[in-house]
Structure 1
């Protein structure tokens, strides 16, 4: 598997990444949505080719874990059959598009994202983590999510093109949004973007047609578990769920499709909100305030266990908690009030205006009164 052991990029189905439990194979559903057959097919693939665990990523993608190099080609073939992965690896790697998960049929988000997918071959080669955000609903919901080239709703009601790292954007005439996105991506690639990696780190002055002073509309409030206009939403602790639990969820006769979100929440179209095994239904559950990577032994970079420790101390933390197996802090979704970082088998603590280094597990639990 050494051929797959690359860091600093985002895996996809054609370019898996090595973890401690096998290959990670990422699936980017179109519009962040899987219909019932696709969802059940994904669960079956996770059980057949992987270890039965499915991650929900901060890009609203699904990730199958524990895949061996031997079965990986058959898995990709199955995902292509399900129309969850492009048959062309070049198209697949370019299709890094985050859309508002609250889209409605035929709205601006659907219209723009569908056209961008259809024209994906027009995009240049981009850095591995560079991506697009289509946040064209009535109110922006993705302002806090990473994405280099963005279409967003403005306070005026129109749409703007905005480069990540800039606080404002430029009005976009209706029907030209994809033209502008492709043009910005080409400009970025042609002016050194491949070396810089992300638009937020790109200091070059934008071209005149991409500069503007129009700010996005104020963001919507935090999205929580509960009923939604299209069905119901549940939290996914640490962004991971078993394929068996997910299959039970979508097997509900009323459920018609799954929608992924970048907030470790799943929306089930048509479903009635009720408690579900493995998922979070309480909007105040402390696990909704926790970021924790897989930790040891699932990740070869980690030297400590993370998630069981996070479960034990989360109720004692009033703000956001981040538990990382190593100093890379991969799971972070934003600023944490309390951070525990693995180092040589022990934990470094920071937060609440203090710091303590090289704590053992029992010392961490005692520190939070959870021992």
Structure 2
């Protein structure tokens, strides 16, 4: 295993899956972040038939089927196509990287904007964007997706819609102009060399090219990500490391439509309380909400160590968020965390207030030592 992970520069899809240690990872991108009961039941059935029955929720509000083989992949795609979950081709699938908040209502602009943006990104003259380039439609009353990994935001502002990036300033738009302006900003990104800047992300481009002067509107503060519990639209439920068995998804589908969130939770539309099902996180004080961990070894070919048993063992001892990463890519939590343990060929590196590739304050830590003495995490030199 190489010390440095291979950076693919693209995310898995359904039509372009990614090889992992337990087979192909097939990512399904629900349209506008919503699964009908039939779609959710269908995904659960297909996960059992053509994969290993494990289903992940990604931090981009997608659903991933694991353990798919090259032989089972064609039948899986046909099943997903019958559920209207497959794009015309892999290029359209990659561009339709759109995240919406789960708190939309029929009266707001979220669903029409999502449909219009998806159509614009599938047009013949759409800009050719990198595989990880993403859009957020944060059109709830108060923005709640500011921390999501993305490149272009449409979000609520003090006087209506704003078109924004990671920068502090934004452009005022209307529901009628929002999609066209978003596509124009994406085209500006391409024309200014963004495709070749820092894994093809907007943040890297903005370090050397400022936004046009017309981006002069202030952004409003965003709310913190929600916890499991009831909201106006239904009940939010979480899962350890965002992973569930196919049977769990099928049981949730029997309760109503499901909205997929970037917090690795599902919102059950119209539910007045969380269901009593095994494997759900339903309390805001559950210790497992304080840990984030990728698949790790052996499920990921690039991981230098097992991650989830370690995270599970440390969770009850934490007061801050801990990210346990199998390598320096930090796929499960791309942004900084209060505490990060990154697996390396010589043990775990401990990073404070940084990403998985950050500078460690300690290294060479073993999982056994960390489990035996969790205080190591807070004994900074």
TM-score normalized by the length of structure 2: 0.89
Match of 2:300 in 1: 299
Alignment partner, residue 195 of structure 1: 196
Q: Is the 1:12–1:93 contact (alpha carbons within 8 Å) kept by the matching residues of 2?
A: yes
- Tell me whether 1:206 sits opposite 2:211 in the alignment: yes
Inter-CA distance 256–363: structure 2 relative to 1 (3 Å threshold) = same
Unaligned 5+ residue runs, structure 2? 1-5, 354-358, 377-381
What's the CA shift for 1:167?
A: 0.8
CA RMSD of aligned residues (A): 2.0
For 1:160, the equivalent position in structure 2 comes to 162
* Alpha carbons 1:155, 1:218 under 8 Å: kept: no
Residue in structure 1 matching 2:373, options 359, 367, 370? 367
Instruction: Please give the residue correspondences for 1:94-243 in structure 2 after superposition, counting only pairs within 5 Å.
Output: 94-122=95-123, 123-156=126-159, 158-162=160-164, 164-196=165-197, 197-202=200-205, 203-208=208-213, 211-243=214-246
Q: Identify the residue that residue 314 of structure 1 maps to in structure 2.
A: 315
* Aligned partner of residue 119 in structure 1, secondary structure: helix
Alignment check: 8 A CA contact 2:290 2:318 kept: no
How many Å separate the matches in 2 of 1:25 and 1:161?
31
- Deviations 1:89-136 (Å, cap 9, x if unpaired)? 332221111111211114111121111122232321101101111111
Q: 4+ residue runs of structure 1 moved beyond 4 angstroms?
A: 351-354
Aligned residue pairs total: 359
Cα distance between partner residues in 1 of 2:174 and 2:12 = 34
What does the per-residue CA deviation read over 1:171-211, in whole Å, with 9 as the maximum and x for residues that have no partner?
Answer: 11341111111111122222212212111111323345xx3
Asked if 1 retains the 8 angstrom alpha-carbon contact of 2:15 and 2:89, the reply is no
Q: Distance in 1 between the 2:92 and 2:192 partners?
A: 22
Q: TM-score when scaled to structure 1?
A: 0.91
Which stretches in structure 1 are left out of the alignment for 5+ residues?
A: none
| CA deviation after TM superposition for structure 1 residue 291, in Å | 1.1
Per-residue Cα deviation, 1:266-295 (whole angstroms, up to 9, x for no partner)? 101122423431110110112112110111
Kept in 1: contact 2:149–2:334 (CA 8 A): no
Show the counterpart of 1:349: 350
Identify if the C-alpha distance between structure 1 residues 333 and 279 changes in structure 2 by more than 3 Å, giving closer, same or farther: farther
- Matched residue, 1:267: 267
> How big is each residue's C-alpha offset from its partner over 1:310-330, in whole Å with a ceiling of 9 and x where there is no partner?
111111011011111122222
Query: What secondary structure, in the 3-state scheme, does the structure 2 residue paired with 1:287 have?
Result: helix
For 2:57 and 2:226, the matched residues in 1 are separated by: 16
Q: 2-side partners of 1:55 and 1:24: how far apart?
A: 10
Secondary structure in 1 aligned to 2:340?
Answer: strand
